[in-house]
Chains A and B, each alone.
Chain A
Amino acid sequence: MDKTTHFGYKQVDVGKKQGLVKGVFDSVAGKYDLMNDVMSMGTHRLWKNYTIASSNVSEGDHVLDIAGGTGDLAIKFRKKVGASGKVILSDINGSMLNEGRKNLINHGIIDVDFIQANAESLPFEDNTFDCVSIAFGLRNVTNKDIALQQMYRVLKKGGTLLILEFSKVENEMLKKIYDLYSFNVIPKFGEFFANDEDSYQYLAESIRKHPDQETLKAMTLDAGFGFCEYHNLTGGIVALHKAIKT
């Protein structure tokens, strides 16, 4: 019998999760940025700015943005690394990569490479990047431990891994409000703005199934990183984990 894993609150065969996640992102790709703005009331931009500020990326660095989607982080990284640096935007989903390509061209950026790749088997040599980022992507990866080991492998010594992801809300009152919002309001936004309630129901469920801050930190250290710290944003709705390869 095949092993199972979670897809939102459902248990599915491990081999099927990737296809199901692909279905979600194929469906939402065209409205992804709009929905991010609507759902987070624009706050996702602050979370991403904080991620960039924490990245310790400088001119000339090589950066890999995994699950880079519509390219929000890649655009900001491109500015930081300058002409002597390099940014690669990767995503497992072709529809999201297409949206990213359009978005970057609209920003006048043509020197970012796009690679369709699975985070569990990154097609890069060891010790290639100064920084690897994954924003709101890790929870959709089937085998997170393998993906973290891959991120470790492709980072140089002294390279930084940044994981921006939904996490566990610490405050009980905020948690109640957040649960009410994400299970009752977000799927309705999805239906209204993207004509897709199910995908946004999956979003709310997948967040609850994602490892909490301390668990993810432990997973990151297990993958080989020497140091890992996290910073809760908006009361832990989102957390930024920053790990360093030593």
Chain B
Amino acid sequence: MFRLAIEKALNHMINVNSINIERLDNSLISLYVDDIDLKIFFLCLNSRIFVIENSEQKDANVDITLNKKAFLSLFKGTSFEDLIESEEIEVNGSIKTAQQLADLFALSSIDIEELISQYTGDVIAYQLGRTIEKIKSATKHDKDSFVENLKNEFTTLLIAPSRSKFFKKRAS
């Protein structure tokens, strides 16, 4: 459903705005979000984009590797060049092709955070369990401190999971 949602949103945006994606034609672009282990492929053919899993393991023309933060920021219009300069994105292959795909992300109205949260829901649930265990062991002699720590950590985890020290530890 994650891939289908992105595919529908991108193609809808291409059609509604009559965007010419001829320059992407015949490209297979791999995108890997390393900290959430998300790998998807964008196949551009027949003036449309297919978001596929590539179980046939065909070689991509362009490989893009980035972290979740950079992936989200692409959809919010952050400059692709800035992300490359700050080494948050690694591109193997044509940077122009990667840039064109990134431009489509920026133009789309995909609620990528919602989609990602669905994808990573199970990861966060796992982290939540581990967080409780860690807080419990760290504060087992102090009930008030336990509740406070729990509140703080839950708040961090639910609002900005990437800032959670437990999540950060796992991602590194």
Chain B 1-36: CB-based contact to A (< 8 A → 1; otherwise 0): 000100110010001000000000000000000000
Q: Given A54-B4, A56-B11, verify A159-B46 contact (CB < 8 Å).
A: yes
Whether A158 pairs with B56 at a CB distance below 8 angstroms is no
Q: Which A45-81 residues have a C-beta within 8 angstroms of B?
A: 53-54, 56, 58-59
Count of interface residues, chain B, beta-carbon cutoff 8 Å: 17
Whether A58 pairs with B15 at a CB distance below 8 angstroms is yes
Q: Given A53-B4, A53-B8, A244-B43, verify A58-B48 contact (CB < 8 Å).
A: yes
Tally inter-chain residue pairs, CB-CB below 8 A: 40
Whether A244 pairs with B45 at a CB distance below 8 angstroms is yes
Q: Given A53-B4, A56-B7, A59-B15, verify A227-B56 contact (CB < 8 Å).
A: yes
Instruction: Tell me the minimal C-beta distance from B13 to chain A in angstroms.
Output: 11
B81 at the interface (CB under 8 A from A): no
Consensus secondary structure, chain B interface: mixed
Instruction: Tell me the minimal C-beta distance from B30 to chain A in angstroms.
Output: 13
Chain A 126-148: CB-based contact to B (< 8 A → 1; otherwise 0): 00001000000000000000000
Cα A244 to Cα B48 in complex, Å, equals 12
A156 at the interface (CB under 8 A from B): yes
Cα A226 to Cα B45 in complex, Å, equals 12
B166 at the interface (CB under 8 A from A): no
Whether A227 pairs with B54 at a CB distance below 8 angstroms is yes
Whether A226 pairs with B50 at a CB distance below 8 angstroms is no
By a CB distance below 8 angstroms, the chain B residues around A4 are none
A246 at the interface (CB under 8 A from B): yes
Whether B48 pairs with A158 at a CB distance below 8 angstroms is yes
Instruction: Tell me the minimal C-beta distance from B4 to chain A in angstroms.
Output: 6
Whether B52 pairs with A229 at a CB distance below 8 angstroms is yes
Q: A residues touching B (Cβ–Cβ < 8 Å)?
A: 53-54, 56, 58-59, 130, 156-160, 221, 226-229, 244, 246
